[in-house]
Amino acid sequence: MTRQQLFSRGIRDSFAMAVGILPFGLIFGTLAGAAGLTLWQAVGMSLLVYAGSAQLIALSLLGTGASVLVILLTTFIVNLRHVLYSATLQPYVGRLPQHWRLLLAFWLTDETFAVVQRFYLLHGDKPLAQWYWLGVASSLYACWVGSSLAGVLFGQAVPDLASWGLEFAMLATFIGIVVPLLRNRPQIAAALAAGAVALATLHWPYKLGLMAAAFSGIAVGVLLERRQTQQHPARELHS
Amino acid letter, 174: F
Handedness of CA 48, 3, 176, 110 (dihedral sign): negative
57-78 pLDDT, tens per residue? 888 888 888 788 888 888 887 7
- Scanning the chain, the segments in alpha helix (DSSP H) are 3-13, 15-34, 39-48, 52-63, 68-78, 81-93, 98-106, 110-123, 129-157, 168-178, 185-200, 208-231, 233-238
Q: Is the pLDDT of residue 18 over 80?
A: yes
Q: What is the pLDDT of residue 137?
A: 95
Q: Is the pLDDT of residue 174 over 80?
A: no
Q: What is the pLDDT of residue 198?
A: 86
Q: Is the pLDDT of residue 239 over 60?
A: no
pTM: predicted TM-score of the whole model, two decimal places: 0.77
188-205 pLDDT, tens per residue? 888 899 889 988 988 887
- Give the chain's mean pLDDT: 83
DSSP state of 51: -
Give the whole-angstrom CA distance, residue 231 versus residue 127. 37
Q: What is the pLDDT of residue 165?
A: 61
Give the whole-angstrom CA distance, residue 109 versus residue 140. 9
Q: Is the pLDDT of residue 181 over 80?
A: no
Give the whole-angstrom CA distance, residue 99 versus residue 138. 16
100-149 pLDDT, tens per residue? 999 999 999 988 998 998 899 888 888 889 999 999 999 999 999 999 99
Average pLDDT over residues 67-96: 85
Under a CB-based contact definition with an 8 Å cutoff, are residues 86 and 188 in contact? no
Q: What is the pLDDT of residue 45?
A: 93
Give one DSSP letter per residue of 143-208, joined into a string: HHHHHHHHHHHHHHH-TTGGGG-TTHHHHHHHHHHHGGG--SHHHHHHHHHHHHHHHHTTT-GGGH
Under a CB-based contact definition with an 8 Å cutoff, are residues 28 and 151 in contact? yes
